[in-house]
Amino acid sequence: MAIDFGRMARGIATGYIGQKLANTAANDELKAGIIERAGINFYENTLPEFQKKEKSREETYKKLSARYGSNVAEYMDQEGFITGNPNDYANIVKELGANDNLNETKLKAYLEATNAGSYESRKKGRVSAIQDREKFVTGNLSKNQIGDMTAKLFLSTDQTMTDASEATAPKTMTEQVTVPGEMVPGTPIKTMDTVETKEVPLPTYEDIFGDGLEKQETNFFALSLADREKLQGQSDQQYKTIFTNKLTGDVEHPRVYEEAYRDLPDNEKNAQTLSQYSYNRYFRERYLPESGFTYGAVSEGPKENSFVTAARFTINILKANDPNDPSIDEIKADLKERLGTNDLSPYGL
């Protein structure tokens, strides 16, 4: 019996084509799934997160500009201190304090030398990048044009979008220095002064904002007693203005303070009234930070926890009224027990 090779070839070809069509359909289904996942991820996660961070960035930048000036805000933005985190502003204010040691000349020289653009230009770069990703989602993906970018952009964890500087930041900058002329030996003639241009290192953060040693001046406990009492009085007046009920004339303490006071150990609760506790918390947590001051030990020592901070403040208030108040020893005894030590000197107590 003769073998019909033509029929066999047609059968093989038919089987191959059928398998190819099946594979193509499966691949198309896979691509459709990827497209759907990519779109959902972009519009439900990537884009909203980007918009949220941009809003936070802008708010932080504007607050810094209003408080410290546009150059400081520019520096903080281009150097990555403004990240889009809601805590950025508070963290920067905590670091800079009153910013009394700012060297404007060095800051301006740094910004000119790095030439990293402006806040607006960096913002445009970030917006352009997110728009490119959106075009990829709505354009190429919808045409099933999926390549290597897919895995990088959509199938792995999104990376935080960062700024692309308009120029690579240099390590040095130029500085013009005047070289005084010299007397010509044996004559009353002096050569003319000359101006030379030389390369110098870029100003460091410490060069611009200070080395931190001066920041003790912004620490509440480094101030004189008169200055501490002045700040406390201003805080108390502000507290009354904010929390006094205008109809009844009564001070209505924030609920969170009242609840925290009720949860205090008996010895701490007996050492202070609800009003004293509320005024003190507002002073430490709101008034001082917003005024550019820190609250804590001045000297280096063990890391301070909230119990030490609260104990110190309460003791200082008690001492101001009566240096021999027996409650002071009770607070110290309780603190020693909490810390597991008999020596409070490292904490300034």
Domain extents for the chain? 5-155, 172-209, 219-347
Q: Whole-angstrom Cα distance, residue 273 to residue 279?
A: 10
Amino acid at 149: M
* pLDDT given for residue 252 in this prediction: 92
First to last CA, the chain: 110
* pLDDT given for residue 110 in this prediction: 87
* pLDDT given for residue 72 in this prediction: 92
204: left (phi over 0), alpha (psi -120 to 50) or beta: beta
Where do runs of H (alpha helix) occur along the chain? 5-41, 47-68, 70-78, 88-96, 104-114, 119-135, 149-150, 205-209, 225-243, 255-262, 266-270, 274-282, 288-290, 306-321, 326-339
Six token digits for residue 243: 């929390």
| pLDDT averaged over 10-residue windows placed end to end, the chain, 349 residues | 48 47 51 63 82 92 90 91 88 80 85 86 90 73 49 43 49 65 78 72 82 60 80 90 90 90 84 88 86 62 57 71 79 76 69
* pLDDT given for residue 147 in this prediction: 47
pTM: 0.46
Q: Which residue has the tokens 């241009």?
A: 197
Q: Whole-angstrom Cα distance, residue 213 to residue 298?
A: 11
Six token digits for residue 8: 């066999």
* pLDDT given for residue 172 in this prediction: 64
> What's the alpha-carbon Rg for the chain, to the nearest Å?
33
* pLDDT given for residue 348 in this prediction: 65
The set of residues, in sequence order, having a beta carbon less than 8 Å from that of 229 and lying 6+ positions away, is 320
